[in-house]
Amino acid sequence: MKKAIIGKKLGMTQVFTPEGAVIPVTVVEAGPCPVVQVKNNEKDGYEAVVVAFDKQKAQRVNKPRTGAFKKAGVDTYRVLKEFRFDNSADYSLGQEIKADIFAEGDKVDVTGTTRGRGFTGVIQRWNQHRLKMTHGTGPVHREVGSMSANSTPSRVFKNKNMPGHYGVERVTIQNLDIVKVDTSRNILLVKGCIPGPKGSVVTIREAVKR
């Protein structure tokens, strides 16, 4: 991987091509992300770069992170992520990664945490069908349905689709296009939708399966 950045999802809008076609885009505030730590093979066993995002009050950051920020000579931040760049040795402490590392037309993979939907039934959670509305079925028509056989095996098989907590999962959408880059405001316009609600933190990397 050669380039990646941390960002915040701001919402969705649309842009028009010169031909008049409408492109739905997600607006992402990408960076700036200062480099907090540079790892190398001699000391850490592998090469990586630790970057920060979203400034935070100093009193809300624990002591180990505060020490890392002080050593790098940067302000305190809320989010820390590690990227294994191919050229990790080219980065230095305090260096900022900004949205201009991407260009219009780049293919990217976007990773985020999906919106939480609380406790949901099998129809919303697993896209199952409801039961019949007649012939003695009911009074509940949205329940899970048959659980298992009676005496054999006398138990419910593992991994059966059941009601439960839905959402708040790490999801990656691959091969999205960068429609526009606003370097003055560190804004990326990504074609289509990306995981997570407004204000959630996302990671944008160059596409793996271009």
Structure confidence by residue, pLDDT tens digits, 58-87: 888 888 888 888 888 888 889 899 998 888
Contact 146, 129 (CB under 8 A): no
In the structure encoding, which two tokens stand for residue 60, read together? 């809300």
Q: Is 192 left (phi over 0), alpha (psi -120 to 50) or beta?
A: left
pLDDT interval class at 51 (50, 70, 90):
very high
Query: 127-172, pLDDT tens digit by residue?
Result: 999 999 999 888 889 998 888 777 888 888 899 999 999 999 999 9
Q: What CATH number labels 117-166?
A: 4.10.960.10
**CATH fold for the domain made of 4-116+170-206:** Elongation Factor Tu (Ef-tu); domain 3 (2.40.30)
Domain boundaries, the chain: 4-116+170-206, 117-166
Distance CA 141, CA 162 (A): 15
Q: Which helix (H) or strand (E) holds 66?
A: helix 63-72
